[in-house]
Amino acid sequence: MTETSHHLPYARWAHVLLRLVASALLMQHGVQKLFGLLGATMVPPVGSLFWFAGIIETVGGLLVFLGLFTRVAAFIVSGELAVAYFKSHFPNGFWPIMNKGELAVILCFTFLYFAATGAGALSFDYIMSRRKTGPTLA
C-alpha cells in the first residue's frame, strides 16, 4: 500500500466535510439576506441584486449541502461570490484582509473546487451516478 492510497479514505471524508461546512456557512448568509435572521440589520427589496444573492446562497448552498446537481450549483455560487467580492469588497481596497472580503474569496474558490470535483461521497449525485452505472464488482 503506497502512502498516497493509504490516505485516500481520509481525503474522501475531508472532501465531504468541507462540502457540508462550506455550504452550511453559505446558507446562513443567504437566510440572513432573505429573511432578516441571524443578526441581519435589513431585508433587501425583492428583485434587488442583494435579494438574488440571498436566493443563490440559500438554494445553491442547500443543493451543494445535499450534493444534488453539485457541479452546476457550485459553479453558480462561485460566480455569485466573485461578483459579491468585486462589488462589495474590492472597492474598499485591494487586499481582502483590509476590505473584509476574505470569506467571499475563500468561499468563491471552495465552491469553484466543488464545481470541478463534484460532491464526492455521501451525496445525491453519488447515489444517482451509482444507479446509472450499477454496482461494481470489486
Q: What are the grid coordinates assigned to 56, written together? A: 443563490
Higher pLDDT, 45 or 116: 116
pLDDT tens digits, one per residue of 60-102 = 999 999 999 999 999 999 999 999 999 999 999 999 999 999 9
Rounded to 10 deg, the angle between the 70-84 and 102-117 helix axes is 160
Q: What is the number of other CB atoms lying within 10 angstroms of the CB of residue 133?
A: 7
Q: What is the number of other CB atoms lying within 10 angstroms of the CB of residue 88?
A: 16
Please say whether the beta carbons of 27 and 57 come within 8 A.
yes
